[in-house]
Structure 1
Amino acid sequence: MRKEHHALLKRISDVQTVDFIQDEIRKMEAGDRGENRLVRKLDELRLAGLVNIFPNVSLSIGEWKVQIDCLVVTDRCFIVLESKNYSGDLFVDLETEEFYKVTEDEKENSLPNPYFQLMKHIRFIKDYFRTGFPSMQVTGAVIMTAKSCRIRQKPKHYPFLKLESMNEKVIQMYNHSNSLPLSTEQLQTIELVIQTEQTPFTYPPLCEHYHIPPKVLMPGVECPFCGVLGMKRLERTWNCPSCKKNARNAHRQTVQEYFWLISKEISNKEFRHFCKIDSIYSASRMLKSLNLNVHKGGAWRYYSPKRN
C-alpha cells in the first residue's frame, strides 16, 4: 500500500493532509517491521509435531474477507497471531474493554481493541475449515512487537503477549490442544488450501478511504526521470518541461495512480482531465493501448484494470 500512499502524497498540497498521510505511511512501515520481527522469532519455534507458518494470510468466505498477520498450522491446532506495533503503556479498561495507550505527557489515546479482531479471525478459521477438519482447535494471541511496549492492564482472558514470550506461549497452546493429531497428508492438504485459495485483499481508492475530495488532487503526468508533474503531450510522446526528456508511455503510471487514488473506473473525459490533455481522439488511442477492460453502454464507455 505504500506506493499508493506515496502517489497520493505528490498530488496533494494541503499541509495537514500531507502530515496525516506521512503519519499513515510511518504506521504501515512500523507495522511491517513488527510483522517481520514476529516471523523471524517464529523461526526459533520448535514443536513436538509438524508445523508450518503462513504470514499475511488473505482468505474469504463469500463476502467475508480477512487478512491475518500470521497463521501457524500444526498437526494439533491452528494458531492465529495478530501483530501490533504499539509502543508505550497499554491499558484495557476492565469494565468497558476500551483499549488505549498513555503517552509520555500522560494523555490517553484510544485505539482499536485488537482482541476483537483476533476473535473474529479465530471464528473465521473455524468456519473456513469446519467441513474438512471440524475437530481442529483454533486459538491465538495478539503479539505486541514494539520493544518499548508495556502491557499495564488487561482482563485475564486477553491473550496479549510480548514478542519475547510468544514462542513459549505457542508451545503451551500446542501442548494443551486436545485435538487428534493430523497426518502428514492431512496437513499437506490444509497447506495446499491456504496456498491456492489466498485472495489478495482489495482496498478502496485512497480518496474514498480517507474521504479526500478527488478535485483537490493535482492532475498531470509525472516525468519518470525527474518526478515533476505536468508533462506535455507532443505528437505521440510526453515531454517534460523541466528536464526536457521524452517518455512515450508516461501516461501508463498516471492511469494506474488514478485507479489507486480516485476510482477503479476511468472514462475518456476523466483521463483527459487527469492527464491534462485536450484531444478526445488521442485519449481514446492511449486508453485502448493500455490493455484495460472496456465497458460499453450506448454512448458511454469506461475502462477498468484487469485482474492479475
Structure 2
Amino acid sequence: MIMKSRSKPIRILQIEALLRRLPDYHRKRAEIEVDYRNGLSGFNGEKQLDYYLSFLPGKDFRIYNDLRFILHTPFQIDSLLITPFFAGIIEVKNYSGTLSFEPISDQLIQKHGQKEKVIPNPVSQVLRQVSQFKEWLLKEKFPELPIEYFVAITNPATYIKTEKENSFILKRVVHTEKIIDRLMDAKSKYNKQILWPTDINRLNEKIMCKNSPLDNNILNTYGINRKDLLRGVQCHSCKSFAVVRKDGKWCCLKCKMISRTSHMEAITDYLLLFNSKITNKECRDYLNLESRHTAYRILKSLNLSGDGPAKKRIYSKVNV
C-alpha cells in the first residue's frame, strides 16, 4: 500500500523553472543542464523502483517514498517500507558500467571501458540511513524495529562484483527487479510482531507530519542574480518571451500563439525561484502588466491563499 507516492523533487522543478528563464548565453547554464540531467536520471530510476514495489502485497507493506527527516542533521530516504515485523530502507542508484566493491578499503570503484573512478559507497550511505532512522524511531517513542536495507541498481546492464570475503554485498546491492525477492525473503525471516495496528497508524501520522522536503533557494545555490532571469510569460509554442496581454488573452508577437492560461506556468516559476509569496505589484512587475485589476484577476484564479487587505494582499502557494 503506497502511503506517500513519489513526485518530482522540488529541486528538479526549480531547475526546470530556472532553465526556462536563464538566457542561453549565461555562464552557469551548462553546469545547470548537467545537474538537471543527473537529477532527472535519478528520479527516473526511483520511478523504476516504484514499478517493482507495486507488486508487493498491499496488506503487508506500507510504502513511503521521498522522505526527509530532521534529526541532528537532515537525512533522506528514497523508499521506506513498514511492516508489523520489520522495516525496509532502499537507496536507489542509477550507476552503469562495472561496480567493484573493495573489501579492504571499503571503496566502490566504477569502471567504464578503460576508465576507473572511486565513487561514494552506497552501502555505507544506506547504513547511515538505517542508524538515523533507528534513532528517529527511538526519539518518537516507537519500539525498536529490525531494519533490512538494500541498494537498488536501476541499470540492468550494470555488473556488480566483489571478493568472496565481501559476498554479503551481493545480497544488499541488487538490480531493481530483484528487490521484491529480497523483501519477500526478509518477510519470511521475521515472525515476531513488533508493531500493532495502533502503532502503525501512529507511525504513519508521524512520518507524514515529520517529513520535511528540502526547499533551497536555487538562485543562491548557483550564485545567480535574479536580474539575470527573463521576466514575463513564455510562449508554449516557440518558447520566446515576446508575449503580451490583450483582450484577456496572452498573445505571442513572434508566432501568434494565443493562450488564456500561459500565466500559470509563469507564476509557478516565480514561486519556485524567488519567493513562496507574491504581491499584486510583484505580479505586475514580473508579468509586465500595467493593470492592478488584471493582476488581481490572475492571482485570484490560481491555487493561492490570500492574506491581508486587498491593496496589500500577499498570495502564498498552496500546491505548486
> TM-score range with shorter-chain normalisation?
0.7 to 0.9
Hey, what does 1:125 align to over in structure 2? 133
The Cα RMSD (Å) is 4.1
Number of residue equivalences: 301
Amino acid at match of 1:126: K
Q: How does 1:65-80 map to 2 (within 5 A)?
A: 66-80=75-89
Question: Is this contact kept in 2: 1:74–1:187, CA < 8 A?
Answer: no
Shift of residue 201 of structure 1?
A: 2.1
Distance in 1 (CA, whole Å) between partners of 2:47 and 2:295 is 44
Hey, what does 1:216 align to over in structure 2? 228
Hey, what does 1:6 align to over in structure 2? 16
Question: Is this contact kept in 1: 2:134–2:144, CA < 8 A?
Answer: no
Distance in 2 (CA, whole Å) between partners of 1:63 and 1:303 is 33
1:148 equivalent to 2:160? Answer no
In structure 2, list runs of 5 or more residues that go unmatched. Answer: 1-7
Amino acid at match of 1:68: I
Aligned partner (choices 149, 170, 184) of residue 183 of structure 2: 170
Hey, what does 1:56 align to over in structure 2? 65
Amino acid at match of 1:77: F
TM-score normalised by structure 2 residue count: 0.71
SS state of the match for residue 129, structure 1?
helix
Shift of residue 54 of structure 1?
A: 0.8
Q: 1:183 to 1:253 in 2, by over 3 A?
A: closer
Q: Which moved more, 1:111-120 or 1:92-101?
A: 92-101
Q: 1:44 to 1:267 in 2, by over 3 A?
A: closer
Question: Is this contact kept in 1: 2:271–2:277, CA < 8 A?
Answer: yes
Shift of residue 165 of structure 1?
A: 4.5
Hey, what does 1:32 align to over in structure 2? 43
Shift of residue 210 of structure 1?
A: 3.5
Question: Is this contact kept in 1: 2:303–2:319, CA < 8 A?
Answer: no
Distance in 1 (CA, whole Å) between partners of 2:194 and 2:307 is 49
Taking every aligned residue pair, what percent have the same amino acid on both sides? 22
SS state of the match for residue 135, structure 1?
coil
TM-score normalised by structure 1 residue count: 0.74
Distance in 1 (CA, whole Å) between partners of 2:260 and 2:47 is 39
SS state of the match for residue 255, structure 1?
helix
Question: Is this contact kept in 1: 2:90–2:152, CA < 8 A?
Answer: yes
Q: 1:107 to 1:117 in 2, by over 3 A?
A: closer
